[in-house]
């Protein structure tokens, strides 16, 4: 992957996102000693065809819409690349995406986004929560909301996975009031989550005895001083034990070599293959990071390499989900925190631009082969059907069958799933 050494220098690009390690809170159900129905390992029979899932590709740093989903060749802002036809007559995308163009029959575009936000942190927050960032409240990210709304109660797998180069297996701080159960687990480098392998010094027989003793002590304690917190710890521990039994679903070496060859040997290819494997095995939400698109310098050379690396693995993932009958139940989203300026700066770069840009999405209840909205001839403004992060968040939820106008009950308080002031993009939903 090409290294970008010319980002804008904001805190988001100087300080790596802090990883949080901690226990996973349990759900509201009472658990004593063991985990009850959560103790049943996930199996193929539990992964019903209509179980909804979400996969997001985060083009971190700000993908240029002009070098991807909304090219403007032959204009003063268009740059050097052509627009090419896709599998959907009338829809053209940038020539840097030839393999994705073949999959457009499964995908749609929103070309009229105006978030009015040019800051990396605030833009990312808006796109992943559907709300503006304010000091007054913190909101859960899309992955936490999806995990809360869609994960089967019986699943022993984490519902919110973020795959990124260098991912350590730690917990994120991205679930807000939904609680740590729905915060992300970061993965990378093809490694399972941390601390999910029984130490070699402890035999299987000893481990069984240890757990039996722990459950007995838990049961005795619960007879006298049982609380929601003790139930949470018990459930968390049991879920971790079940996850240990399923470590192999995080191991892409179990996938056929021909699949490794199709996806590619670089990080992004391996991570897309891992995303497919996780989705197939019942993980509700998987986010794959591809970065860094903050191309203030040499925008065109960078996009040749980086979008070129993205194109084939992403197209392969879309095709595989379709071929395996998973596309109708899996929402696919390719997004950034913003787009890039139509005007080209003196360093042959494009700067931050939240005023008129695009995303790609498909699967689930998204109408395939659709284009929502448009920008003007040189891409400097939205010309039709302006939408923002709030509309998009509602649309994502509706696409996987969640009533985005509803609420979560959080300790007796109704918390809206999405911004009540916004609404879904109705014409994008099948």
DSSP-assigned letters across all residues of 280-304: HTT-SEEEEEEE----SS-HHHHHH
- Determine if the peptide bond prior to 88 is cis (ω within 30°): no
Quick check: is 1 in a domain? no
- Residue 293 sits in a domain whose CATH number is 3.40.720
To the nearest 10 degrees (0 to 180), the angle between helices 120-129 and 142-150 is 20
| Residue 83 token pair | 């627009």
Domain count, the chain: 1
Quick check: is 95 in a domain? yes
Quick check: is 135 in a domain? yes
Quick check: is 361 in a domain? yes
Quick check: is 2 in a domain? no
Nearest Cα to Cα of residue 181 among 151, 206, 214, 201: 151
pLDDT digits (tens, 9 = 90+) for 234-281: 766 776 777 778 888 998 999 999 999 999 999 999 999 999 999 999
Which range, of 6-20, 103-117, 345-359, 390-404, averages the lowest pLDDT? 6-20
Please name the residues in contact with 274: beta carbons below 8 A apart, sequence gap of 6 or more: 163, 187, 190, 250, 252
Residues 165 and 267 sit within 8 Å (Cβ to Cβ): yes
Binned at pLDDT 50, 70 and 90, residue 9 comes out as: low
Rounded to an integer, what distance in angstroms lies between the CA atom of residue 57 and that of residue 159? 16
Confidence (pLDDT) at 41: 37
Average pLDDT over residues 196-221: 85
Confidence (pLDDT) at 419: 98
Q: Is a pLDDT exceeding 60 seen at residue 44?
A: no
Quick check: is 148 in a domain? yes
Residue matched to tokens 């095709």: 319
Name residue 415's beta-bridge partners. 408
Average pLDDT over residues 192-219: 83
Q: Is a pLDDT exceeding 90 seen at residue 176?
A: yes
pLDDT digits (tens, 9 = 90+) for 297-331: 999 999 999 999 999 999 999 999 999 999 999 99
Average pLDDT, the chain: 87
Quick check: is 270 in a domain? yes
Confidence (pLDDT) at 318: 98
Average pLDDT over residues 100-106: 98
Which range, of 111-125, 200-214, 412-426, averages the lowest pLDDT? 200-214
Quick check: is 3 in a domain? no
How many percent of the chain have pLDDT more than 90? Answer: 67
Confidence (pLDDT) at 3: 47
Could you tell me where the DSSP H helices lie in 130-227?
Answer: 142-150, 204-225
Nearest Cα to Cα of residue 340 among 2, 26, 7: 7
Q: What phi and psi, each to the nearest 5 degrees, are found at residue 157? A: -95, 150
Containing structural domain, residue 176 = 11-428
Residue matched to tokens 């163009």: 101
pTM over the 0.95 mark: no
């Amino acid at each position: 992957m090409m290294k970008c050494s010319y980002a804008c220098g904001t805190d988001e690009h100087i300080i790596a996102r802090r990883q949080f390690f901690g226990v996973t809170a349990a759900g509201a159900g009472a658990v004593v000693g063991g985990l009850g129905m959560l103790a049943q390992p996930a199996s193929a029979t539990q992964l019903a065809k209509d179980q909804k899932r979400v996969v997001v590709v985060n083009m971190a740093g700000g993908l240029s819409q002009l070098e991807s989903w909304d090219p403007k060749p032959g204009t003063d802002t268009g740059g050097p690349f052509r627009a090419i036809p896709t599998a959907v007559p009338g829809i053209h995308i940038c020539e840097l995406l030839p393999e994705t163009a073949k999959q457009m029959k499964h995908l749609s575009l929103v070309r009229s986004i105006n978030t009015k936000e040019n800051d990396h942190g605030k833009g990312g927050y808006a796109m992943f929560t559907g709300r503006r960032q304010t000091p007054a409240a913190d909101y859960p990210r899309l992955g936490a909301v999806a995990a809360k709304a869609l994960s089967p109660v019986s699943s022993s797998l984490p519902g919110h996975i973020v795959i990124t180069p260098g991912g350590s297996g730690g917990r994120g701080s991205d679930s807000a009031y939904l609680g740590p159960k729905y915060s992300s687990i970061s993965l990378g480098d093809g490694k399972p989550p941390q601390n999910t392998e029984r130490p070699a010094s402890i035999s299987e027989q000893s481990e069984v005895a240890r757990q039996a003793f722990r459950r007995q002590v838990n049961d005795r304690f619960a007879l006298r001083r049982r609380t929601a917190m003790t139930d949470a710890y018990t459930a968390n521990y049991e879920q971790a034990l079940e996850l240990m039994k399923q470590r192999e679903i995080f191991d892409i070496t179990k996938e056929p070599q021909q699949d490794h060859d199709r996806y590619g040997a670089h990080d992004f290819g391996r991570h897309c293959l891992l995303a497919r494997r996780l989705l197939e095995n019942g993980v509700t939400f998987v986010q794959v990071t591809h970065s860094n698109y903050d191309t203030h310098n040499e925008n065109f050379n960078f996009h040749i390499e980086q979008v070129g690396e993205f194109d084939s693995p992403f197209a392969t993932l879309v095709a595989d989900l379709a071929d395996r009958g998973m596309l109708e139940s899996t929402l696919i989203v390719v997004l950034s925190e913003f787009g890039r300026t139509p005007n080209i700066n003196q360093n042959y770069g494009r700067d931050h631009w939240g005023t008129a840009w695009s995303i790609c999405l498909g699967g689930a209840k998204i109408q395939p082969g659709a284009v929502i909205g448009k920008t003007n001839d040189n891409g400097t403004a939205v010309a039709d059907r302006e939408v923002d992060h709030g509309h998009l968040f509602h649309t994502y939820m509706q696409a996987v069958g969640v009533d985005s106008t509803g609420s979560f009950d959080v300790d007796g308080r109704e918390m809206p799933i999405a911004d009540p002031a916004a609404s879904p993009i109705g014409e994008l939903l099948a």
